[in-house]
Amino acid sequence: MNINDEDLKQLLDNIRGGLDRESLEWRQAINRLLIKLQNSPELLTSSHFLYLEALDKTWEYVIENIHKFEPKPEIPISESFMKWVKGYLVWRIRDLYRQKASELSLDTEINPDLENPLTLLDILSENGFNSPTVSGLDAYLENKRQENIVTILQNFETYVLEDPEMLLRNCHPGNRPDCNCQLLSIKRLFTDPPEKFTNIARKLGIKYQTLKSHWERRCLPLLQQILKDLGYSNNGES
């Protein structure tokens, strides 16, 4: 449900109007506000594996900093408030992404799955998605370190989700545009847990082997090329 301007203003007035933060009245008011936020269709949602953690931190931020919210006079208070909340949520996701990525090794599985585990190196490798030599990996890590991994992951995910040139959506087997590379990439790389090929094939009504072959022969090479276009080079230049 949308947050009504009048209801929101009354809630904010109650929360910020001098009530003791330890009082039952204050806790009830802040709980009502959080429930309205959680049920709002305007709240950002995501299947990203960091989303729930970022959302929890956002609620903590709202509770601790509600007194700092300043409505923008030129727009409705509900719109102003949602911009304030969503702005922090987006920042929190990016911040957590940096923290997690700084701990990420190139050979860490990014979609743990016994059926078809995939590492960043599976995509980045120039050698048919096989891991590079130890010396090559060491050179890459020495030259680029973790900050480049962060950039690659962020830009890669953004590109796949937005598919600005329709490269992924236009890549599909035969007359099955519903089984395109963007859909498969989201389900395999950016869904937690990653969806199994058997489940995807059943839902789409397509043969498992057709889907798997399309992923391996067309989608993975396309994802590799996208990464190269975004600046990745296995010789350490990016």
Measured CA angle at 99 (ends 81, 238), to 5 deg: 110
Amino acid at 2: N
Per residue of the chain (238 residues), give pLDDT as tens: 466 788 888 888 888 887 777 788 888 888 888 888 888 887 877 666 677 888 888 888 888 888 888 888 888 888 889 888 888 888 887 777 666 655 555 555 555 555 666 665 565 544 333 333 433 444 434 444 455 556 667 788 888 888 888 999 999 998 999 999 999 998 888 877 788 899 999 999 999 999 999 999 999 999 988 888 876 655 444 4
Q: State if pTM tops 0.75.
A: no
DSSP state of 191: S
Would you tell me how many other CB atoms lie within 10 Å of the CB of residue 4?
14
Would you tell me how many other CB atoms lie within 10 Å of the CB of residue 162?
10
Q: What is the pLDDT of residue 179?
A: 95
C-alpha gyration radius of the chain: 22
Q: CA–CA separation, 157 vs 154, rounded Å?
A: 5
Tokens coding 229 = 């276009």
Q: Is 41 exposed, middle or buried (0-12, 13-18, 19+ CB in 10 A)?
A: exposed
